[in-house]
Amino acid sequence: MSRGKSFLSGPVIVIVGFILITGRTLRQGTSLHLGKGSDEYRIEVTTVELSEHSMKKLGLREGDKVRIKSAHGSIKAICRRSNLPSEVAFMSCGYRANLLIGSDTEGTGMPSSKGIMVEITRETEEEDEV
């Protein structure tokens, strides 16, 4: 049945890249007060959430390391399963995600912190800590 023009989220089968959304999480907000050097905070802002479908497709298990690349930078992150549409990846606001965000504000002062096109791949280099 045709749904006409649709803006609602639906299943996406082919993964060519992800749309990265950044936002606040309670864990990021509470661990912030332990200091930005605290393990809790560091782990929370270094974690990327993906859908179960995307994790399977990329051959990932929770806690695995991934490489996230945008037009502006590249970071390592730890992945966590979440109830997201398969084309969406989510990260807590923080210094890690900010490496992926560009500084063009399109004349508004506001960088585009949500809806960043990224590539996510399984990280194979093991040397340095995430």
Partner 1 sequence: MKFEHVVCPLCGCLCDDLELIVERNEVISTKNACALSRSMFLNLNADLAKPLIEGKETGIEACVDKAIGIISKADYPLVYGLASTESNAQRKAVELAELLGGAIDSTSSICHGPTVLGVQMMGEVTCTLGTIMNQADLVVFWGSNPVDAHPRHLTRYSLTPRGLFTPRGRKGRRMIVVDVRETKSSKLADRFIQLKPGTDFEALSSLRALIKGEKIDIDPELKELAEEMKSCEFGALLFGQGLTMSNGKNMNVNAALALVRDLNQHTKFAILPMRGHYNVTGADMVFTWQTGYPFAIDFSLGYPRYGPGEFSVVDLLSRKEVDVALIIASDPVSSLPAQASSYLSEIDTIVIDPNRSMTSEIARVVIPTARAGISAEGTAYRMDGVPIRLKKVLKSPYPSDYEVLCKIVNGVIDGRSKDS
Binding site for partner 1 (CB under 8 A): 2-9, 19, 21-26, 29-38, 72-73, 82-85, 87-88, 90, 93-95, 98-99, 101-103, 105-115
* Distance in Å, CB of 127 to partner 1, minimum: 22
Distance from C-alpha of 130 to C-alpha of 128, rounded to nearest angstrom:
6
* Distance in Å, CB of 82 to partner 1, minimum: 8
Nearer to partner 1, 7 or 124 (CB): 7
Nearer to partner 1, 32 or 58 (CB): 32
For 37-60, b/e burial (b = at least 16 CB within 10 A) is: eeeebbbbbbbbbbbebbbeeeeb
Q: Are residues 41 and 28 in contact, defined by beta-carbon separation less than 8 angstroms?
A: yes
Residue 105 has which token pair? 């504000």
From the list 92, 82, 119, the residue with the least C-alpha distance to 27 is 92
Nearer to partner 1, 26 or 126 (CB): 26
* Distance in Å, CB of 45 to partner 1, minimum: 9
